[in-house]
Amino acid sequence: MDPKLERLRHSASHVMAQAIKRLWPETRLDDGPATEEGFFYDLDCPVTITEEHFPQIEAEMGKIIKENHSFTQSFMSRKEAAEFFKKRGEIYKEDRILNRIQDDRVSIFTDGDFIDLCQGPHIAKTGEVAAFKLLSVAGAYWYGKESNKMLQRIYGTAFASQKELDQFLKMREEAKKRDHRKLGPALGFFTIEEEAGAGLVFYHPKGALLRKMIEDYVREQHLARGYQFVGTPHLLRSNIWKQSGHLDYYKEHMFLFEVEGQSFGVKPMNCPGHVLIYKSRLRSYRELPIRFFELGTVYRNERVGVLHGLLRVRGFTQDDAHIFCAEDQLVGEIEQVLSFTFQVMKDFGFRDWDIELSTRPEKFVGEIQDWDKAESALTEAARKKFGEMKIAKGGGAFYGPKIDIKLKDVLGRLWQCATIQCDFALPVRFNLSYAGSDGKGHRPIMIHRAILGSLERFLGVLIEQYAGAFPLWLSPVQVVVIPISEDQIPYAKQLTETFKTHGIRVALDDRNAKMQYRIREAQTDQVPYMVVVGTKEAQEGVLAVRERRAGDLGKMTLEAFIQKLRKEVEEKT
């Protein structure tokens, strides 16, 4: 995010909290950061705030902006700050000071009658908050822990100009129409059954078929590029997760349990399983690079507050691969993965993306010199294929740096999908080796990579990209045959069977309902083509074809229509 915009939005979150404190003085505040879309503030208010309260809060914010208070920074010792906020009844601020802040010098920001615990930075004055809007309200557990109290989270946004705000709100309305959480169930793709557990996806027939088509495409693409398919168990003994580092660095996201005195972990990642397959026998330099691929289902203990439709779930499947290679093969393999990724994204209709390199985090495994080599290899490959990229300092996985490829959809939103991670550490932790041309043992390097990432997440992105109206090659139902009356049902059935023999996914709608009603329903279900069969069509042996958006395409022969469908599928238009 642009630093100026981040300062503006963070300042707007203070103005919002200040307005709420003025309206309901007993409100106790927790935290209010800027976000990619705006800002939010978590608070404990005696009133249950709803969107009906937003005009009242926005009016009070307007007063504070007109008062044009300066944002002034001051400092206290931890002890002084804790006592100061305790006297003001700000128990959440007091707890943050005592349990989350390590420095003895605590930063405080003041604007007018409002004082907040904050590191900053801020804009100069409240009057610089030019254009803002409150957006929504949700619940948020204190510190994100389900055992803690549920606070209210108020979302808003702010921009430097009203024009930018208006553009954002217009795009947000369009995004609402595309929301996969509504379209997915409405189109019969999936549901999330809360009684079975939060963040667990149930695929309905259309969704399961769509997922199969994506999986079939992914398998074919990997076979064509020399990947070998593998399969690994859904759980492993905890000593494996200890050896890989997951128990030390990822434990809070894992499901752990005991059976007959032994500890197991449900896999949050597929890499240790692929490592064990590699290690199952001696390997030679002649085999390298070895590319193991698995559509591997994993489970992660995500907090309820961060779960979001298909985009953030507890159980999901990755198009996961691990490449074991020699050091002199590393850059070339990364380049190939990047080319592979770009081709797949184009096939699914994406034409624009951003690349981001995430470097060594504070908590990591392995040697710094190996991290430097890994970051250098990723940088070299990405610049050859893409040019410049963004840098996310400290954003790498605990075992290696990574490249993230973020897709840009039709609304200009970025979605994290593909990732490429370079890992010198796990081969060391599992003592992997291969026999070199010199007859000596050498250590391979691992590349962790996913093209689509989570299939669930990618499906959610696809639904929003196309607003549910998938291109023909991905549509679960490609054609609906609609006879006008009972007299045409035999011909309609004959057509339906013919389409099936040509591999076309077809449905026959011969219900006793008006033709226009059945056409509208097919359009609502986002079926690409409708074949309407009346007396003339049956007599002449032709088709009256309708397209879901263009409407009536006129009459076609069966052969011409099938050729049209085949061409559209092949070109993935």
Catalytic residue list: 271, 300, 318, 320, 322, 402, 448
What does the DSSP 8-state code read for residue 129?
Answer: -
Tokens representing 95 are 């707890």
Q: How far apart are CA 571 and CA 473, in angstroms?
A: 9
Q: Of 171, 179, 182, 157, which Cα lies nearest the Cα of 413?
A: 171
- Structural contact between residues 210 and 189, judged by C-beta atoms closer than 8 angstroms: yes
Q: CB under 8 Å to 87, separation ≥6 — which residues?
A: none
CA distances from 153 to 33, 169, 305 (A): 11, 20, 11
Q: How far apart are CA 16 and CA 18, in angstroms?
A: 5
Considering Cα of 261, then 267, then 270, then 272, what sign does the dihedral take? negative
- Structural contact between residues 193 and 49, judged by C-beta atoms closer than 8 angstroms: no
Identity at 352, one-letter amino acid code: D
Q: CB under 8 Å to 71, separation ≥6 — which residues?
A: 11, 14, 109, 110, 111, 120, 122, 123, 124, 125, 126
Could you give the residue ranges of the DSSP H alpha helices within 198-329?
205-224, 238-244, 246-249, 271-279
Q: CB under 8 Å to 20, separation ≥6 — which residues?
A: 27, 41, 43, 45, 49, 57, 60, 154
- Structural contact between residues 504 and 562, judged by C-beta atoms closer than 8 angstroms: yes
> Cis peptide before 401, with omega less than 30 degrees from 0?
no
CA distances from 107 to 116, 512, 515 (A): 9, 72, 69
Q: How far apart are CA 567 and CA 200, in angstroms?
A: 37
Three-state DSSP class for residue 18? helix
Q: At what angle do helices 455-466 and 162-178 cross, to 10 degrees?
A: 110
Q: In what order do the strands lie in the sheet with 114-117?
A: 72-77, 105-111, 114-117
